[in-house]
Structure 1
Amino acid sequence: MPVDVDLRKLRYFVEVAERLHFGRAAQALHIAQPVLSRQIRALESELGAQLFVRDRRASELTPAGRQLLEDARPLLASAEALRRRVGRAARGPRVFAVGFMPGLIVTPAVRALSARHPGLTVEVLRMSWDDQAELIRDGHVDVGYVRLPIDRRGLRTRHLLSEPRVVSLPADHRLAGKDVINAADLADEHLLQDPDAVPEWRDVATEMATGSRGAGPQIRTVEEKLEHVAAGRGIVILPLSTATFYTRPDVVHVSVCDLPPNQVHLAWDATRRSPLIQEFVGVAVASQG
C-alpha cells in the first residue's frame, strides 16, 4: 500500500538524526519536545519501522533510520529546490542565479546573457567548497562554476577550464623562498582544509599516515584559511586564480610541480530542462575563448 510521506515529519526526523538528541532538536526546530516525539512516533507508524533506539541519555539510529537519513536529505533538497523555482517563476521578472567559487570571474558570461535577455535579472552568488553542489541541488543557483572534486549525484557538468595549484605558506616558512616544490616537500605540514580536496597530499602526509590529524576548528572561507596560514598554523592548497585574488603580504604562494591542475566545470541540476541553462552554458564556454 503506498505511503504518503509528510515532508514536515521528514525534516523533524533529519534534525533529530543529525543531533541524536530530541531535546536539542526540539530547540532548533522551535517546538516542544513532546510534540517532536509524537511526530517521530507517527512517522515510524506510517513507515512501519523503528527509526531510533532511545534511552534517557541519548538516541541512536536503527538500520532503518540510517537508510531514511540517507534518502531524506536529497528528497528534502529536491522539495526545497522545487519551492524556490516555483516561487521565482511566480514573482517575476525572471531571475537567473549563477554561483561561483572564489577566484573565478563570471562577469563576461553574465553580461552576455543579460544583453540577450533585457528582461532577465541575472544574480551571482559566491559558493564555497562545502556548499557548491548543494546550492545547485536546492535551487539557490541555476548554474554553478564549481571546482572538482564534487559529489556529482543529480548534476550535469561540462568542463570549462584547468588551472595550476599552489601552496599557500606563511611568509617566514622554510619553503617560502622557493620557486617550485614537490608535494613530498609538504609531507610534515598540517593541511587546513578537507583532505578530499587534495587527494595527492594524502599520499605523502605524515599526519595522515600516523593518524595524528585532529579534527581542529571548522575553517570554511578562503579568508579564514589564509588567516590561519599567516599565523603559522598550517598550509592550504589553492588554485592559482584564488591565490592571486587573495594576495596578502604575510602569505606567499609557491608552485607545486607534481600536483595536477584544478578542474573547473559548469554544473546544473540534471532534472532541469531550462533553455536558459543551456544558453548560459554555451555563453560561458564561448567567453573562455
Structure 2
Amino acid sequence: MVATEPRWVALPAGHRLADAAEVPFAELLDEPFLALPESAGALRDHWLATDERGGRPVRIGAEVAGADETFEAVEEGLGVVLLAAGNAAIYRRPGVVARPVVGLSPSQLALAWRADDHRTALRDAVEAVRRAGPPA
C-alpha cells in the first residue's frame, strides 16, 4: 500500500450540507451520486461506497468519465461525489465545496504490477515509492 486517505465529498456550494465541518456518511445515503461507468467495476463501487451502505441502493444522478465532467456535474447539482482527501484541494473550484466524510472507511492507494514487467519507467516508479517509505 502506498497511501491511505480519508474520503471526502464534493457538494454544490448551495447544498444543505455545504456548511458542515464534517458530513456523516449516513446523511449522504439518499443523495444522488455521480458514478464512474459500470466498466470501472470495483473502482466505481469504492467511490459509491456500495459496501458501506447497509444494503441501501445507490441513487445515481449521472454517470461521469473524467474530473472536469465530474465537477461540472457537481456544480450543476446533478449529484455529489466522493473523493480522496488529497484531491479536495486539487479540484477546488467555484461553486463546489469539499468536506470530510465521517463514518466511511478511507481510500487506499496501492501500487501493483505484473511480475514479468521489467520496463525501466516502472522500475523507477517502484523504487521511488519504496524510497518514500511506508505510508503514514
Cα offset for 1:228?
0.5
Residue 105 of structure 2 is aligned to residue 260 of structure 1: yes
Alignment of 1:13-92 (within 5 A): none
Partner of 2:49: 200
Structure with larger Rg: 1
* Counterparts of 2:124 and 2:92, CA distance in 1: 34
- Give the TM-score normalised by the residue count of structure 1: 0.39
Question: Which deviations, in whole Å up to 9, do the C-alpha atoms of 1:151-200 show, x marking residues without a partner?
Answer: xxxxxxxx111111100000000000001121110011011014512353
Structure 2 stretches of 5 or more lacking a match? 37-43
Contact kept? 2:84, 2:107, Cα under 8 Å:
yes
* Counterparts of 1:255 and 1:187, CA distance in 2: 15
Partner of 2:83: 238
4+ residue segments displaced more than 6 Å: none
Partner of 2:39: none
Contact kept? 1:184, 1:204, Cα under 8 Å:
no
* Counterparts of 2:45 and 2:95, CA distance in 1: 27
The answer to which structure, 1 or 2, has the higher relative contact order (CA under 8 A, 6+ apart) is 2
**Relative to total residues, which structure has the larger strand share, 1 or 2?**
2
Residue 70 of structure 2 is aligned to residue 228 of structure 1: no
Cα offset for 1:255?
0.7
Cα offset for 1:222?
1.2
Question: Which deviations, in whole Å up to 9, do the C-alpha atoms of 1:104-159 show, x marking residues without a partner?
Answer: xxxxxxxxxxxxxxxxxxxxxxxxxxxxxxxxxxxxxxxxxxxxxxxxxxxxxxx1
Count of aligned residue pairs for this structure pair: 126
Structure 1 stretches of 5 or more lacking a match? 1-158
RMSD: 2.6
Contact kept? 1:187, 1:204, Cα under 8 Å:
no
* Counterparts of 1:248 and 1:199, CA distance in 2: 22
- Give the TM-score normalised by the residue count of structure 2: 0.77
Partner of 2:30: 188
Question: Which deviations, in whole Å up to 9, do the C-alpha atoms of 1:236-260 show, x marking residues without a partner?
Answer: 0000111210101200011111122
Q: Which residue of the other structure, out of 106, 122, 128, is the alignment partner of 1:277? A: 122
